[in-house]
A = this chain, B = another copy of it.
Amino acid sequence: MTTTPLRKDAARNWDRIVAVARALVDEGTPLQLNDVARRAGLGVGTVYRHFASPEALLETVAAPCLEALAADGERALADTDPWRALEGFLTRTLEAQITDASLAPVTAAPADALPRTAELKQSLRSAGSTLVDRAVRAGAVRPELAPADLLPLMCGVAHAVHVHGGDPDDRIDTARRYLALLLGGLRAAPSHT
């Protein structure tokens, strides 16, 4: 079921490539496989052997974070307070998007290069769906919110933060503010309405 384990040297190369890619993403440089190869001190072919396309590499870079978010989603499902569960999930998803530049393009992409990415995104979507369903049923969230809206909305907030600009430190604040506004809108109107 898992891939054949890599030979030791191949594994080292794999690590190197991903590390270089991570660094490039962090400094905002677009991922170019030739470039990655040069900086990793490897041949282009080697990089292509490990990653069939720039997207595949990017998804690999994003994977740990996606894994963490998926795990977080699982944990959120265990929370007994539906609203708190949803709010926490969204907050952490958004902060990840703001913090890790590899996430936005992967999340927003309509197609996935790696199966694992598709699984993870699916897992996120389904955790989100459940959280939304519960919160709606508990009367904590407006029923207009469809489960499939969660991820797009997160991407939207992240994008809004990006357009707003400002230096990295302000970003988190802006993100929190925007998320608070959105959450305000998601929250069900007081029942006496």
The interface residues of chain B lying within 8 Å CB-to-CB of A110 are 165
- A152 and B164 in contact (CB under 8 A), knowing A159-B159, A193-B190? yes
- CB of A43 within 8 Å of the partner chain: no
Residues on the B chain within 8 Å of A161, using CB = 152, 156
| CB contact between A185 and one of B152, B155, B159, B182 (< 8 Å): that residue | B182
Query: Is A144 positioned at the interface, with any CB of B under 8 Å from its CB?
Result: yes
A181-B186 contact, Cβ under 8 Å, with A160-B153, A161-B152, A163-B108: yes
Closest-by-CB residue of B relative to A160 is B156
How far is the CB of A41 from the nearest CB of chain B, in Å?
Answer: 13
Interface residues in chain A, defined as those with a beta carbon under 8 Å from any beta carbon in chain B: 107-108, 110, 142, 144-146, 148-149, 151-153, 155-165, 174, 177-178, 180-187, 189-190, 193
- Closest A-B pairs by Cβ, 9 of them: A156-B160, A185-B185, A184-B185, A181-B185, A159-B159, A152-B164, A156-B156, A152-B163, A152-B160
What 15 additional pairs, Cβ within 8 angstroms, besides A149-B178, A155-B160, A184-B187?
Answer: A108-B159, A108-B162, A108-B163, A146-B177, A148-B164, A149-B160, A149-B164, A149-B174, A149-B177, A152-B163, A152-B164, A156-B160, A181-B182, A184-B185, A185-B185
